Amino acid sequence: MPVSFSIMPPLHFVLASQSPRRRQLLGTLPYPHSILVPEVDEDLHLDQDPAIYVQRTARQKAEVAAGQIPTPSTERLLIVAADTTVALAGEIMGKPGSGSEAREMLIRLRGRTHQVHTGLCLIDRATGREIISVHSAEVTMRDYTMEEISRYVATGDPMDKAGAYAIQHPEFRPVARLDGCYLAVMGFSLCDLINRLAEIEIEIAFDRAALVKAHQGYACPVLEHLGRP
């Protein structure tokens, strides 16, 4: 009697984001991806707890993007969206609207510990399954000087960053201590994505050594359990 085999279509990621950092990180995985930028009101859930806020915003992005993708497809589409915010003493610190606002944010954060919450929403178009998660990291800033703040703000880098800083900035290097996933603080935890895919029984290939290197020497608690549901 002949045996039939079910062949899964190839994976294709759809990143619901215009962030160059998220695109760069997703591009380290050996799968094709496309970009779809959904129009959403990112202030819609600002009255929520910061960790809830990023989850709901990520879900909103993913669902809007999913609704814009025509069907059917010869590939297995995985829609991915993320959202990141900085919270100091429970207060959400979004992207600065001006250089002076960026300077004020950096002064408030200086020498203190705050939280970075990164929400993730994954939608598998083949099954309709949706997974939402959040990674929360504890970040302690170093005691940088006012001159360092001025030089950094002058670069323009803080203007599209929650909390007005990028952990990966090669000159400013604002972080003294990190407890959590470095990539999540950048805005998109590949570690979390890989684990969420494992939850829906999708095992993907990834270069563990390259992923470790991408964390820039910071220990990541999620890396220890990669790919395990």
Is residue 2 one of the residues assigned to a domain?
no
- The helix/strand/coil state of 38 is coil
pTM above 0.75, yes or no: yes
Is residue 5 one of the residues assigned to a domain?
no
Sign of the four-CA dihedral 209, 210, 212, 217: positive
In total, the chain counts a number of residues equal to: 229
Q: For residues 151 and 145, give the distance between their C-alpha atoms in angstroms, rounded to a whole number.
A: 10
Give me the CATH number covering residue 109: 3.90.950.10
| Mean pLDDT, range 206-216, rounded to an integer | 91
Residue type at 72? Answer: P
Q: For residues 213 and 210, give the distance between their C-alpha atoms in angstroms, rounded to a whole number.
A: 5
Over residues 112-153, the pLDDT tens digits come to 999 999 999 999 988 889 999 999 999 999 999 999 999 999
What are the start-end ranges of the E strands in 24-183? Answer: 33-35, 76-88, 91-93, 113-124, 129-141, 175-179
How far the first Cα of the chain sits from its last, in Å, is 35
Over residues 15-28, the pLDDT tens digits come to 999 899 999 999 99
Is residue 25 one of the residues assigned to a domain?
yes
Is 47 noted as a catalytic residue in this protein? no
Query: Catalytic residue among 43, 47, 49, 83, which?
Result: 83
Is residue 26 one of the residues assigned to a domain?
yes
Sequence-ordered alpha helix ranges (H) in 43-177: 50-67, 99-109, 146-154
| Mean pLDDT, range 61-73, rounded to an integer | 87
Provide the residue range defining the domain that includes 47. 11-225
Number of domains in the chain: 1
Is residue 38 one of the residues assigned to a domain?
yes
Structure tokens of 117? Answer: 């919450």
What pLDDT is attached to residue 71? 73
Over residues 89-102, the pLDDT tens digits come to 999 999 999 999 99
Is residue 160 one of the residues assigned to a domain?
yes
Is residue 100 one of the residues assigned to a domain?
yes
Is residue 212 one of the residues assigned to a domain?
yes
Q: For residues 174 and 61, give the distance between their C-alpha atoms in angstroms, rounded to a whole number.
A: 29
Over residues 151-203, the pLDDT tens digits come to 999 999 999 999 999 999 999 999 999 999 999 999 999 999 999 999 888 98
